[in-house]
Amino acid sequence: MSSDSVKKTIGVALGVCAVASIFVSTAAVELKPIQVANKKADMVRNILDVGGFDSESPDFSKVYEEHIKPEIINLKTGEVIPEEKYTKELNPDDFDIKSLADSKTYGEAIPPNEDIAGIKRMPKYMVVYKVIKDGKLSEYILPIYGKGLWSTMYGLLALDKDLHTVKGLTFYDQGETPGLGGEVENPKWRALWVGKQAYDSTGRPILQVIKGKVSANDPRAKYTIDGLSGATLTTRGVNNLVHFWLGKNGYLPYLENLRGKKHE
């Protein structure tokens, strides 16, 4: 093959690559707003699902607006952040746990001896969702996340307005082994959480996911959940992340503030 032919071949290849890269870049830019919108819609559906609403309703956005009231809290103090202090990054509509945890302004490192969830960094602030039913406060939905066997699992835990009783649980983003750790998304397993006690009478976190089955005669049954069969490390991860977020580094300061108030 002559040198001219080689040059032509290389030129054509480079041209094809250039056109392809332009096409991919353009598509990525044009599709990003759609992807962001889909991600928000999926989050809304998960919030409605764990809150006991029909997440598949054609009017799910309207249901969310009518029944879900998000607010931003300072995790250390448990105080609610006034809307006038919201920023482009720190607001309920655009709240992103991953980016805020990595932020120098809004995130912080977790001391290794306290990082039982295995997440290394966390936001200084969190969005929580108040659920309103029949015009009254019904429950609180708390975002939670932590390490499983293969992935960081992101979920939502719903607590009754009594601030002790679990009303629901869902994991909306996880990469655990299908059929094993991936069963964190199984509706039957999620149903086991409903009615369990997250805190004891003193406000101490007591909810546990155990290895094996919970016996109905076990006095601890009211605050223990069956582990996932064949997924010991994922089960341990779920137990650890729940303990972390129910504890002093998570939502405990916020919930303690609420316990000092009268709820209707």
pLDDT digits (tens, 9 = 90+) for 241-262: 999 999 999 999 999 999 986 4
Closest C-alpha among 195, 197, 208, 211 to residue 243: 208
Along the 264 residues of the chain, how does pLDDT read in single tens digits?
A: 555 666 666 666 666 666 666 765 555 556 556 766 788 899 999 999 999 998 888 899 999 999 999 999 999 999 999 999 999 999 999 999 999 999 999 999 999 999 999 999 999 999 999 999 999 999 999 999 999 999 999 999 999 999 999 999 999 999 999 999 999 999 999 999 999 999 998 889 999 999 999 988 888 999 999 999 999 999 999 999 999 999 999 999 999 999 986 444
Exposure letters 93-117 (e unless 16+ CB within 10 A, then b): eebebeebbebeebbeebeeeebbb
**How far is Cα 103 from Cα 106, in angstroms, rounded to an integer?**
5
Residues with Cβ < 8 Å from 134, sequence gap 6 or more?
none
Rg (CA), the chain: 23
166, 45 Cβ separation under 8 angstroms? no
Question: Residue 71: helix, strand or coil by DSSP?
Answer: strand
**How far is Cα 7 from Cα 11, in angstroms, rounded to an integer?**
6
194, 168 Cβ separation under 8 angstroms? yes
Q: State which H helix or E strand residue 63 sits in.
A: helix 60-67
